[in-house]
Structure 1
Amino acid sequence: MILGTVVGTVVAERRADQIEAAKYLLIDQCLQNGTGKNNFLVALDMIGAGPGEVVLLSQGSAARQTDLTDNKPMDAIIVGIIDQIDEQGTVVYKK
């Protein structure tokens, strides 16, 4: 699993994934406190994430193990929106 912050959207009218109404977001991978790493990827939004939210991503073969993405050319999907991250008893991120 990867943490990232939603920093934008990606629009592609023509795609090989054949997923109707697919919404792709530009994600900046981030540290556990939400600080961006300036390392971007594009992910299929499966849960309705929005700008500025810290999200949980699944990448690689795990991204193709949902009903929607099975046997599709998918490398990254958003599987959760983070509410809080606790590191060794200290809250380092809170929505």
Structure 2
Amino acid sequence: MIIAKVIGNVWATRKEDTLNGLKLMVVQRVDLADKAAHESFIAVDCVGAGIGEQVLVTTGSSARQALRNEQSPVDAAIVGIIDELTAS
């Protein structure tokens, strides 16, 4: 899984049918070692995350499993909202 911060959302009125009804969010990977922000990408929101929240993102076939739709063209999904993060 990837730790990321939600930085925006995507509105797409025309998209692949299996994406209808899904909330698309722009997330940016966070590196715990240097607290720097890295690349941003689009993830389907499975948990109701909002802009500014830190989230857990899964990628690849695990993202499609989170949606319970193996046929959907999704490669990243938000599967958790981080309440607290402790790292040493």
TM-score, normalised via structure 1 length: 0.80
Q: Deviations over 1:16-36 (max 9, x none)?
A: 152432110000111238x45
Percent of matched pairs sharing the same residue: 37
Summarize the alignment of residues 10-89 of structure 1 with structure 2, pairs less than 5 Å apart.
10-32=10-32, 35-88=35-88
Where in structure 1 do 4 or more consecutive aligned residues deviate above 4 Å? none
Distance 1:76 1:57, change over 3 A: same
Distance 1:23 1:67, change over 3 A: closer
The structure with the greater share of residues assigned to helix is 2
Distance 1:73 1:54, change over 3 A: same
Structure number with greater Rg is 1
Return 5+ residue gaps in structure 2 as ranges: none
Amino acid at match of 2:23: K
Q: Give the whole-Å Cα distance in 1 for the aligned partners of 2:62 and 2:17.
A: 16
Alignment RMSD (CA, Å) = 1.8
TM-score, normalised via structure 2 length: 0.86
* 8 Å CA contact 1:19, 1:68 repeated in 2: no
Distance 1:68 1:37, change over 3 A: same
Q: Give the whole-Å Cα distance in 2 for the aligned partners of 1:79 and 1:67.
A: 10
The structure with the greater share of residues assigned to strand is 1
Q: Give the whole-Å Cα distance in 1 for the aligned partners of 2:68 and 2:36.
A: 28
